[in-house]
Amino acid sequence: MSGTQTTGPIGGRWFQLLIGIICMSMIANLQYGWTLFVNPIDAKFGWGRAAIQVAFTIFVLTETWLVPIEGYLVDKFGPRPVVFGGGILCGLGWMMNAHAETLTMLYVAAAVSGVGAGAVYGTCVGNALKWFPDRRGLAAGMTAAGFGAGSALTVIPIANMIANQGYQDAFWYFGIGQGAIVVVLSLLLSKPIKSAITSAKAAVVQTRKDFRPMEMVKQPVFWIMYIMFVMVAAGGLMATAQLGPIAKDFQIAGVTVSLMGLALPALTFALTVDRVLNGLTRPFFGWVSDKIGREQTMTLCFTFECLGILGLYYLGRDPVMFVLLTGLVFFAWGEIYSLFPSTNADTFGSTYAAGNAGLLYTAKGTASLLVPLSSVLVTATGGWEAVFWVASFLNGTAAILAWFVLRPMRRKLIERSANM
């Protein structure tokens, strides 16, 4: 790679990036595989979708709202111990799910899984931002791609195991396997050292001051980013958590779809395509944002998401369109997990990047509070129309904010940072 030096710990910064990607892929099913378990759990215990989805909300809240603490630990002690502990908790959480016979147990397991996933996620993204100051969009995108596409390889085996052996076995065996891989790989992680980091200049404008987390939260531009993150994440989380129930209510979940030489049930096909596209979009648009700018890329993606969500509602009752449009929705949504961390680090510096990105990542937890609301809206209105319109509106508003509010505010702060 031009402009890079790869001396340093085991294989240099690109190997560190690869370890982070694999670790992220191992925790992806904790979020993206959840939708496969909702209906089987409801069929076994009859708790109702809304009550079961509370577990997903708890998972996302603990995954996100504790990341600032985990980010602080990474900035202070390095990535290895944080990811090691996170891997243990991720495995333990799914093993608990396998034996959960009460909602309380399901909720506790979700919290355990969330703490573990947050430790792994926040550490790997923060480490990538520090190792790649010259290619933050690409590095954060490649790392987040592991989380976005990681479940693509396992969604079919999990779905098959649920169908053939029951959801408890799927929780148990995949929990052990995924957790063990993260624990082993954590031993190879290392904090960045200056001799292994490139001195090449980034194409995008970056701050000259390293803001501590408490300094960052005093800047209005941080809260604009936070609100935008909540808006876009909320729409995407509604889709990722509710895709199974949506397909069932559209009466196309089990309908066979033949595309690209594959023939799979519509829901399984959609989940597989979505995971791949949700992963590819992160490095792709991260790379694009390195070239054309962060806000320009945000405006483009959020507009696509706004239109794609409406298209899914009005055209998604056709099985083929359901697969294609969910793919578009995920492709336009997944990039937030590369764009926002890289924008945050550009604006507030590298030294405290893990802790700062962790604070911004809590926006995903805030957005998750809207997921149970979507079930309430469906119950109250008798359909999904209100949910889709709300999600589309949020993305459209975020697109406007990116161009007309965030862009000028961030430019002014970076210009002032030289004298701060």
Q: Is pLDDT at 4 greater than 50 in this prediction? A: no
Percent of residues, the chain, with pLDDT higher than 90: 61
| pLDDT tens profile 234-276 | 887 776 668 888 999 999 999 999 988 889 999 989 988 887 8
| pLDDT tens profile 17-76 | 999 999 999 998 898 888 889 999 999 999 998 899 899 889 988 998 888 888 888 888
Other beta carbons less than 10 A from residue 227's beta carbon: 16
pLDDT of residue 201: 62
Residue whose pair of structure tokens reads 């829901």 in the numeric block? 267
pLDDT of residue 114: 95
pLDDT of residue 403: 96
Q: How far apart are CA 287 and CA 201, in angstroms?
A: 15
| pLDDT tens profile 294-333 | 999 999 999 999 999 999 999 999 999 999 999 999 899 8
pLDDT of residue 195: 54
Query: Do 238 and 369 contact (CB within 8 A), yes or no?
Result: no
Question: How high is the mean pLDDT of the chain?
Answer: 89
pLDDT of residue 198: 56
Q: How far is it between the farthest Cα atoms of the chain?
A: 64
Rg (CA), the chain: 20
Identify the residue with better confidence: 368 or 186. Answer: 186
Identify the residue with better confidence: 243 or 167. Answer: 167
386 in any annotated domain: yes
> Any alpha helices (H) in 349-406, and if so which ranges?
353-368, 370-381, 385-401
Q: How far apart are CA 156 and CA 149, in angstroms?
A: 13
1 in any annotated domain: no
Mean pLDDT of 361-368: 86
269 in any annotated domain: yes
pLDDT of residue 123: 93
CATH no. for residue 301?
Answer: 1.20.1250.20
Q: Is pLDDT at 396 greater than 80 in this prediction? A: yes
* Cα 102–Cα 119–Cα 279 angle in degrees, nearest 5: 95
Q: Is pLDDT at 221 greater than 80 in this prediction? A: yes
5 in any annotated domain: no
Q: How far apart are CA 250 and CA 357, in angstroms?
A: 38
Backbone torsion region of residue 255, taken as left when φ is above 0, otherwise alpha when ψ lies between -120 and 50, otherwise beta: beta
Query: Do 236 and 309 contact (CB within 8 A), yes or no?
Result: no
Mean pLDDT of 283-287: 95
Other beta carbons less than 10 A from residue 320's beta carbon: 16
Q: How far apart are CA 182 and CA 171, in angstroms?
A: 16
pLDDT of residue 1: 40
7 in any annotated domain: no
Q: Is pLDDT at 376 greater than 90 in this prediction? A: no
Mean pLDDT of 200-226: 89
The parent domain of residue 357 ranges over 12-194+202-417
Residue whose pair of structure tokens reads 């995407």 in the numeric block? 236
Domain count, the chain: 1
Identify the residue with better confidence: 145 or 369. Answer: 145
Q: How far apart are CA 287 and CA 291, in angstroms?
A: 7
- Coil vs helix vs strand at 135: coil
Q: How far apart are CA 303 and CA 307, in angstroms?
A: 6
Q: Is pLDDT at 77 greater than 70 in this prediction? A: yes
- Coil vs helix vs strand at 221: helix
137 in any annotated domain: yes
pLDDT of residue 136: 93
Which stretch of 90-104, 228-242, 290-304 has the lowest confidence by average pLDDT?
A: 228-242
pLDDT of residue 97: 95
Query: Do 232 and 321 contact (CB within 8 A), yes or no?
Result: no
> Any alpha helices (H) in 8-48, and if so which ranges?
12-27, 29-32, 35-45
Q: E strands, 48-192, where?
A: none
